């Protein structure tokens, strides 16, 4: 009898711990609503964060966030939702607190975890001001009445609750410290990690799909398993900060090759940020070695 009681107690305790660990983050105190956003500056945040690259329709206008693109991964195929300002099919009924909780905590207004195909583990590092600026710009974008499509996931991954454990292990993405970083390097790191979420593609992942910070920017298999993103540590890439800045502006490498594939979409966005910010990214990346 005592053995049976012990098993029951352990089981109940285990379930309690599981549900505590996997609970969605509580809604934040809405102090973000007090931050005045600037839509002009928010446009740069939008482009640097690559929002249009994932949420536009296939081949569509990057400012019409109707969703529908499919992203294959080892865990199933994720489909980008409509996040336009349509109140019925998009996020037009949200306020800035809803937007903040989604972008920086990966939790829906209904209190459900989003899957980390949405790179909120990187966006978690975004400042309040940039979040407010992004929301101010977002509200200027057109609406789309396209219905969001369901993800195509195995039954094992269809339950969102365990994502809470993943968040405990891997969120936020934390970059290795750069010794003696000055203001330019610090700015470049912020743009690279928090907004550009470059590590999400250029850093290998663990078996559970988290960014392996011990192999920072050392290249990784693409999520669909059909290719590889390059190692962009300084000793492997071998480019100067100016080379990287030019690449992010024009798409041309120092050897006059041209960016293609998904990187061409990235450069479509980074070409719209300031020269100073592109150079800051380049300066930061030259500080990263294996």
Q: Quick: pLDDT tens for 74-129.
A: 999 999 999 999 999 999 999 999 999 999 999 999 999 999 999 999 999 999 99
Residues 6+ apart with CB under 8 A from 284: 178, 184, 185, 187, 188, 189, 191, 192
Q: pLDDT at residue 29 above 90? A: no
Judgement on whether residues 95 and 190 belong to the same structural domain of the protein:
no
Residue 223: predicted pLDDT: 86
- Residue 175 belongs to some domain of the structure: no
> Is residue 250 included in any domain, yes or no?
yes
* Residue 94 within a domain: yes
Average pLDDT over residues 56-74: 94
Give, as one character, the DSSP assignment of residue 213.
G
Task: Look at residue 1 in the predicted model and tell me its pLDDT.
Answer: 55
Percent above pLDDT 70 for the chain: 90
Q: Residue 108 sits in a domain of what CATH number? A: 1.10.760.10
Q: How far apart are CA 114 and CA 120, in angstroms?
A: 9
Average pLDDT on 231-248 reads 96
| Percent helix, strand and coil across the chain, each to the nearest 5 | 45, 5, 50
Region 196-214: mean pLDDT is 96
- Which pLDDT score, from 0 to 100, does residue 28 have? 60
Q: How confident is the model at residue 180, as a pLDDT?
A: 93
Residue 3 has a pLDDT of 47
Q: What is the tens place of the pLDDT at every residue in 120-161? A: 999 999 999 999 999 999 999 999 999 999 999 998 888 898
- pLDDT at residue number 14: 41
pLDDT of the residue at 9:
42
Task: Give the number of other Cβ atoms within 10 Å of residue 152's Cβ.
Answer: 12
Full domain range(s) for residue 64? 29-150+166-170
Q: Which residues contact 244 (CB under 8 A, 6 or more apart)?
A: 237, 278, 281, 282, 285, 286
Q: How far apart are CA 122 and CA 193, in angstroms?
A: 6
Per-residue pLDDT, 26: 61
**12, pLDDT greater than 50:** no
CA distance 28 to 285: 33
When comparing pLDDT for 121 and 290, which is higher?
Answer: 121
The structure tokens 């583990």 sit at 121
7, part of any domain: no
261 by Cβ neighbours in 10 Å (0-12 / 13-18 / 19+) ranks as: exposed
Residues 45 and 139 in one domain: yes
The average confidence (pLDDT) of the chain is 91
Judgement on whether residues 42 and 127 belong to the same structural domain of the protein: yes
Total structural domains within the chain = 2
**Residue 167 pLDDT > 50:** yes
Instruction: With respect to residue 109, please indicate whether it lies within any of the assigned structural domains.
Output: yes
The mean per-residue pLDDT over the stretch 182-203 comes to 98
Which tokens is 44 given? 């740069």
Q: Is the peptide bond before 172 cis (omega within 30 degrees of 0)?
A: yes
Q: Do 67 and 128 lie in a common domain?
A: yes
In a domain, 46, yes or no: yes
- H helix and E strand count, the chain: 13, 4
pLDDT of residue 81: 98
Please report whether residue 68 resides in a domain: yes
pLDDT at residue 226 in the model:
85
Residues 102 and 190 in one domain: no
Question: How confident is the model at residue 27, as a pLDDT?
Answer: 58
């Amino acid at each position: 009898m005592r053995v049976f009681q012990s098993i029951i107690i352990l089981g109940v305790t285990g379930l309690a711990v599981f549900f505590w660990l996997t609970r969605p983050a509580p809604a934040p105190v809405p102090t973000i609503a007090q931050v005045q956003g600037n839509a002009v500056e928010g446009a740069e945040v939008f482009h640097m964060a690559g929002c249009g690259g994932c949420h536009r329709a296939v081949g569509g206008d990057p400012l019409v966030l109707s969703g529908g693109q499919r992203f294959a991964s080892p865990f199933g195929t994720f489909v980008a939702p409509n996040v336009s300002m349509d109140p019925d099919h998009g996020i037009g009924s949200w306020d800035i607190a809803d937007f903040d909780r989604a972008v920086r905590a990966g939790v829906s207004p209904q209190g459900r975890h989003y899957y980390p195909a949405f790179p909120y583990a990187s966006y978690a590092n975004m400042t309040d001001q940039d979040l407010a600026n992004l929301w101010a710009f977002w509200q200027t974008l057109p609406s789309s009445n396209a219905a969001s499509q369901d993800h195509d996931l195995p039954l094992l991954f269809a339950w969102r609750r365990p994502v809470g454990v993943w968040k405990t292990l891997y969120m936020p993405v934390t970059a290795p410290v750069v010794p003696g970083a000055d203001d330019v390097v610090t700015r470049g790191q912020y743009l690279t990690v928090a907004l550009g979420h470059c590590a999400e593609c250029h850093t290998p992942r663990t078996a559970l799909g988290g960014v392996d910070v011990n192999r920072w920017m050392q290249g990784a298999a693409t999520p669909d398993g059909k290719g590889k993103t390059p190692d962009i540590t300084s000793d492997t890439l071998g480019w100067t900060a100016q080379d990287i800045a030019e690449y992010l502006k024009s798409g041309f490498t120092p050897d006059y090759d041209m960016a293609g594939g998904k990187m061409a979409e990235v450069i479509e966005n980074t070409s719209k940020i300031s020269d100073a910010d592109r150079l800051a990214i380049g300066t930061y990346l030259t500080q990263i070695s294996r």
